[in-house]
Structure 1
Amino acid sequence: MNRNKSAWLSIATLPLFIAACSKDNDNAPQTGTPATITVENVLDAKPLVESGTFKNEGASPVIMPGESISFRFSAAKGQALSFATMYGWSNDLFFAPANPGIKLYEDNGTPIEGDVSAQVKLWDNGTRINQVPGAAVTHPGTGETAPKNITEVAGMDAQGNSYAAASALMKATLHYEGNSTFTLTIKNTSGGSSNPTPFSPGVWAISYIAGGNLLNPNPLFEAGKPTANGLTNIAEMGDNSILGEYIKGQTGIFTPLSPVLVVVYNGIDNPIYKIGENDRGKGLKELAQKGDASGLAAYLKTVSGVKEVYILPAANSTVLLPKAGGQAGSSVSQQLKVAKGDRIAIATMYGFSNDWFFASKDNGVDATQKGDISSSVALYDDGTAVNQFPGAGITQFNLAGTPLEESKVIEEVPNPNAFTTLPAITGIIKVTLQ
């Protein structure tokens, strides 16, 4: 269950931001005091965009033949749904789709609906010797002398016991709710089969996708490798608490930041935006939706009172990547010439959103101050695109989507918001002046 490190590195191939990766500063050199602005992506990124647990909400948490459970989640094209639940009347068998999970969209982006049971398989956890499946199975049973790797049970287990196909015991049905949201319903259909069994409480997970690759394509288990992270507790006892806690710790926020727009100005208000107003149509929309600051930079250079405009791409990757796999997040720096009365404002896209952007609050900051000014930055909604779960939206530009247009005033993104809870802004972006 190691992270796919090559997937993390492939983020540099994201389609976003490419048009905005050159520094734009054609103004004549400014006289004044030297200063250096540094912007860093300090987010401690997680590989899973969503995860959770499920159980029967009746008198018993077990899902008996004829009963069903449902849960909702969001996903973009290329993401997949993984889950695991115990074949209750066994020693250590569990149901799960083959990795990376249940496919959610057709190749053309159409959401998949209906019966997806054929993608569910039966697996042997490899930690117990299998008895004849049924109500008489002894738990926990006899342990394997040397635990084996996880293997698919395709009709017969290693001890010669026979099993109906997983799709005959479990019906899994997808329903698309709209706006990148799905509901999966799992029904226990084993009652009239040769292998009646209850299902245990389970877990589910969805990995982030970046550069066309899932950050963790094996979030719960990996065929041909030993069980890990609490899956044994599900497979042997139907206890989903340990694996549930593990994936909870792997779930959170992941986002790159677009090349950073920096503007130095004097005698005017923050020229990038104003909260409570609609997008001015001067290039902020393209920054907020696509990470392309070139249009906004070109406009700002025509504004009276603006002294310098820069677009700062990260070395090698263009985008500012978060901390991941033991590697520090990306940073960019720019030397400036500032004078008394000058102010500085920045803007950069929350890459895995529809139209969120980080920007300096109110009228920016005094350009001559020194130190950490991260508290002067907030996260805003540009109001030009319909919002979806960040990192799991089918119309998010950086997940190969086309934003759905809307027209609302610019406002600060609440936290928690309608989709998730974000870290503090200072836990995502750090800005310093030296």
Structure 2
Amino acid sequence: MITKTYKCAVFALFTLIFTACKKDQVSAVMYETQSTITVENVLDSRPLVESGTFKGSGTLPVILPGQSINIQFSAAKGQAISFATMYGWSNDLFFAPANPGILVYDADGKPLEGDVSSQVKLWDNGTRVNQVPGANVNHPGVQDTKVITEIRGIDAQGNSYLAASSLVKTILKYNGNSIFTLTLQNISGGTANETPLSPGVWAISYIAGGQLLNPAPLYSAGQSTANGLTSLAETGNTLPLKDYLTSITGIFTPLSPVLVVIYNGVENPVYKLGEPDRGQGLEALAQKGNAESLATYLKGKPGIKAVYVLKAPSTTVLLPAIENQSGGKVSQDITVSPGDRLAIATMYGFSNDWFFATLEKGIDANFKGDVSSSIKLFDDGTAVNEFPGAGISQFNLTGKPSKESLPIALVPNPNAFTTLPDVSKFIKVVLR
């Protein structure tokens, strides 16, 4: 009787436990919800990474014979600096390097330095009939409608000119950390082509996939002048061309494949502000855009419910908006429960080790709507920073990052190199 009673009690207890477990499982499933996360590169990109103006330092803004000016800029391998300045005692002639400009690294990525005057040419803007060059030129002169052409000793009217390198001396110096100084010196004094040089403009194009986004930012040989160059070539007025260059100068960057992590009951699995990189794979994401290492590390760890790496179709990376083409977009269906948090991370592609990520507390994974305001830009502290999009050691510009060891921090804005748009102008994250 005792044995039978004991068996019945055990059976009843087992049935109770089984039923309770089954109810808990059903309850957990009932509280799960389906959602979709969408990440989009919404940057309205620009093709020029830097541009600016220069002028003489005297009472007059011109650069007189014997005077010089300096242009400081940053550049990556394959990038070039272009500039334009008026041959002051002419109707519409200007000095400029042949496109795409003066390359500042050799094929091995070694900075080039020294006299690069031979790369500077003299150009005819084609909008005025040339008179004999000199102080007595009548400005603006007779109108003409020709295309931009290089003057090689003699212009269309038979006037003679020395080589541009005999009139403008151009010296390139490397300052370190991808920063250069280009010095333009007016050496025309005492020559048959003595002339002041006007204030001028300069520009550097982004390079992506080995191709310059704008290889002819100031002029195109064999084509009609445009974008305000005529004002510079005829009167030395830089303002119209400067305004044009400013309108196409700014930020261009892809976003790397996006790491998405759903977690519960643990701290942010990607990073902690003020502490060094954990050595779990974030460095590879921040420096090279490789999210796979960190994703592999996190999968199966306590509190980690799901890990995804979202890649854009065909391009893998999320390209920015280019002219009329929308930026890259990726989406992922996710399953979440009450209390779940969500973290994302993606590289600022044209940087040394910057990454966009959710704030340290993450995002409520059950929220519906735009959560872009929870995204900030961080510096991983594992590579020396350079001008974004113009650094010789940036991985996505064929460079090798120079290591450093600093705690993870927010990227200041403005920073030592440039002023960035608000993070919301780069990346949009929506939960639906």
- TM normalised by structure 2 equals 0.93
1:144-293 mapped onto 2 (5 Å cutoff): 144=144, 147-293=145-291
Total equivalences in the alignment: 404
TM superposition shift of 1:194: 1.2
Letter in 2 for 1:286: A
Aligned position for 1:319: 317
Preserved CA contact (<8 Å) 1:171 1:189: yes
Secondary structure of 1:297's counterpart equals helix
Match of 2:242, SS state, is helix
Equivalents in 2 of 1:410, 1:148: separation in Å? 57
Contact 1:385 1:403 in 2 (8 A): yes
CA distance in 2, matches of 1:242, 1:299: 54
Q: Is the 8 A contact 2:31 2:338 kept in 1?
A: no
* Structure 2 Cα separation of the partners of residues 204 and 31 of structure 1: 60
Corresponding residue of 1:104: 104
Q: Which residue of 1 aligns with 2:370?
A: 372
Q: Distance between the aligned counterparts of 2:58 and 2:225, measured in 1?
A: 30
Partner of 1:95: 95
Q: Distance in 2 between matches of 1:238 and 1:197?
A: 13
Report SS of the residue matched to 2:198: coil
In the alignment, the residues of structure 2 paired with residue 103 and residue 432 of structure 1 have an alpha-carbon distance, to the nearest angstrom, of 42
How far apart in 2 are the matches of 1:194 and 1:89?
A: 12
AA aligned opposite 1:422? L
The runs of 5 or more residues in structure 2 that have no matched partner are 1-28
- Residues 114/195 of structure 1: CA separation in 2 closer, same or farther (3 Å cut): same
Question: How far has the Cα of 1:325 moved from its partner?
Answer: 2.3
> Greater RCO between the two (CA within 8 Å, min separation 6)?
1
Q: How does 1:103-142 map to 2 (within 5 A)?
A: 103-142=103-142
Supply the distance in 1 between the matched residues of 2:386 and 2:263 (Cα, whole angstroms). Answer: 34
Q: CA, structure 1 residues 31+292, in 2 after alignment: closer, same or farther (shift >3 Å)?
A: farther
Q: Does the 8 Å CA contact 1:30/1:338 hold for their aligned counterparts? A: no
Could you tell me which amino acid in structure 2 is paired with residue 55 of structure 1?
K
Cα-to-partner distance string for 1:245-304 (whole Å, 9 max, x where unaligned):
110111000000000000000011110000000001000000000000111001111320
Matched, 1:385 2:402: no
The 2-side partners of 1:272 and 1:71 are apart by 41
- Quote the residue 1:431 is aligned against: 429
Corresponding letter in the other structure for 2:154 = M
Q: Percent identity?
A: 67
Query: 2-side partners of 1:238 and 1:325: how far apart?
Result: 30
Who is 1:11 aligned against? none
Whichever residue aligns with residue 184 of structure 1, its letter is L
The 2-side partners of 1:318 and 1:194 are apart by: 58
Matched letter for residue 261 of structure 2: V
Whether the 8 Å CA contact 1:384–1:407 is kept in 2: the answer is yes
Shift of 1:31: 7.7
Query: 2:274·2:408 contact (CA, 8 Å) conserved in 1?
Result: yes
1:303 to 279, 295, 301: 301
Amino acid at match of 2:281: G
Q: CA deviation at 1:192?
A: 2.1
Q: Is the 1:286–1:293 Cα contact (8 Å) retained in structure 2?
A: yes
Rounded to whole Å, the distance in 1 between the matches of 2:64 and 2:107 is 35
CA distance in 2, matches of 1:110, 1:192: 37
Contact 1:30 1:337 (8 Å CA) reproduced: no
Whole-angstrom CA distance in 2 between matches of 1:143 and 1:217: 29
Match of 2:396 among 386, 390, 398: 398
Aligned letter for 2:189?
G
Q: What's the counterpart of residue 55 of structure 1?
A: 55
The CA distance in 2 between the partners of 1:302 and 1:415, in whole Å, is: 37
Structure number with bigger Rg: 2
- Partners of 1:205 and 1:32 in 2: CA distance: 54
Q: 1:429 to 1:361 in 2, by over 3 A?
A: same
Partner amino acid, structure 2, of 1:371: G
CA distance in 2, matches of 1:397, 1:65: 43
Whether the 8 Å contact between 1:279 and 1:410 is mirrored in structure 2 is yes
Question: Any idea what SS the aligned residue of 1:233 has?
Answer: helix
Letter in 2 for 1:151: T
Structure 1 runs (4+) deviating above 4 angstroms are none
Unaligned runs of 5+ in 1: 1-28
Separation of aligned partners in 2, 1:111 and 1:366? 48
1:4 corresponds to which residue? Answer: none
Q: Which residue is 2:23 aligned to?
A: none
Q: Please, which of 336, 354, 358 is the counterpart of residue 356 of structure 1?
A: 354
Asked if the contact 1:95–1:122 (Cα under 8 Å) also holds between the matched residues in 2, the reply is yes
Tell whether 2:40 aligns with 1:40: yes
Q: Distance in 2 between matches of 1:109 and 1:348?
A: 27
Query: Letter of the aligned partner of 1:97 in structure 2?
Result: P
Distance 2:327 2:394 in 1: 23
Deviates most, 201-210 or 50-59: 50-59
Give the Cα separation in 1 of the matches to 2:226 and 2:56: 25
Distance in 1 (CA, whole Å) between partners of 2:225 and 2:257 is: 41
Q: For residues 306 and 62 of structure 1, what CA distance do their matches in structure 2 show?
A: 65
SS, match of residue 69 in structure 1: strand
For residue 30 of structure 1, report the CA deviation from its aligned partner.
Answer: 11
Any conservation in 2 of the 1:87–1:94 contact (CA below 8 Å)? Answer: yes
Matched position secondary structure for 2:126: coil
What displacement does 1:32 show?
Answer: 1.4
Aligned to 1:5: none
